[in-house]
Amino acid sequence: MFIIKSRQFHIYSIIFIVLSILRIQKSFKMEPVFGDYDSASYFSFSLFGGLRMPLITFIYSNIQNLNSIVLFQSVISLLTFFYLGAVLFTFNLNRNITLLFSILTLCLGNSNHVVYLDSTIDSESLNISFLVLLIGSIILFFQFNNLIFLIP
């Protein structure tokens, strides 16, 4: 675990909290988008031989409520984009530039396209969130293991 102590990170955290409150309020107002042909298959959990990835179907079949799924996807998305922005603070760059890029990362996570995907009962929202988490973890791994020279 990495700990970041800077004034810019505190500003970033405050901006994250404000954007999170706005995003959660928006999630409560959004109507879930349920595809007649695609979304129903996400609610039948099967470990082997299922149509969908078992982790996604496990989550959806346990939550069941469409509005709760939208809220769950929004919270996961918020946390992963915050994580990616926080990872940027581990670089030894100008703190104000790092703050700018971190805020831009939060803005990307709060863009209309990402918010729309959070309201859709499909796996795209969680896939994007897990991809953002993976990218942040890879950056963090290279940063703390001094393997940054392996990136062409």
Give the pLDDT confidence of 102-133 residue by residue, as tens digits: 889 988 888 888 888 888 888 888 889 999 99
Structure token pair of residue 151: 């990136």
Nearest to 70 by CA among 111, 29, 10: 29
Give CA–CA dist 85/104, Å, rounded.
8
Give CA–CA dist 109/103, Å, rounded.
10
29's CB contacts (< 8 A; 6+ apart) are none
Classify each residue of 59-77 as buried b or exposed e, where b means 16 or more C-beta atoms within 10 Å of its C-beta.
bbeebeebeebbbbbbbbb
Give CA–CA dist 45/32, Å, rounded.
20
How high does pLDDT run on average in the chain?
82
86's CB contacts (< 8 A; 6+ apart) are 4, 9, 12, 102, 136
Does pTM surpass 0.75?
yes
pLDDT in tens, 18-56: 988 988 888 888 888 877 777 777 777 777 766 677 788
pLDDT in tens, 63-111: 888 888 899 999 999 999 999 988 888 877 888 888 888 889 988 888 8
Residue 136 pLDDT exceeds 80: yes
